[in-house]
Structure 1
Amino acid sequence: MVDDVRDITETAENKASVDAIDRARLARERREAEQRKRLDELRAHAAAAQAQREKRDEERRRRQAEQRARDDDRRQQVNHQVEERKRAIWEASISRREALLQRERERTERLER
């Protein structure tokens, strides 16, 4: 009888021990699954953030390229305008010199007569 009680007690203790081990294993597996899920979420968030940064950087580079193109166009226009002004000044200078030479010739001709 004592042996039977002892066997029942040992069986109950073994079953409790097995149940405790099973519960601990299940709890550990749940924690690991949650950690994997959190890690996957963090990776997904990091990937999304990286994609957003790349998109923002690409947009910034595109805007900079457009601004450079506008600046180059503006610079070319200004250079063209400067060249036109220089040419106009040079032509006016030539015209003045020719007019002065013409007046000088006319004066010389008048004096020679």
Structure 2
Amino acid sequence: MKQAGGPMTEAMYYVLLTLMNPSHGYQLMQAITEVSSGRVKMGPGTLYGVLARMQKEGLIVLADNDGRRKTYAITADGEQALRQEYHRLVAMIEDGVLLKEGDRDA
């Protein structure tokens, strides 16, 4: 797996997150907007670029191709990378407690 715990782009994070339920491109664009409460809107160019990259890295697979639409699913490596990124982001938020409490010069 190439992700190795390093930072993931926001687009990659939301694609993997929404692919916890296999989806095709249009469904993914809608799901990303919904999951992010409208904060992230992904166009087809960005989406298909990210999908191609993640497929090449083994984070997702083409689950079905009926000739009209391609359905993608997250792999075990993809889920592991997503969970690593989630924990990294949570740690960053926890580190940010300093902003709420001020400096700790004790």
TM-score interval (norm. to shorter):
under 0.3
| Bigger relative contact order, structure 1 or 2 (CA pairs below 8 A, ≥6 apart) | 2
> Which of the two has greater strand per residue?
2
Q: TM-score, normalised by structure 1?
A: 0.25
Q: TM-score, normalised by structure 2?
A: 0.26
> Which of the two has greater helix per residue?
1
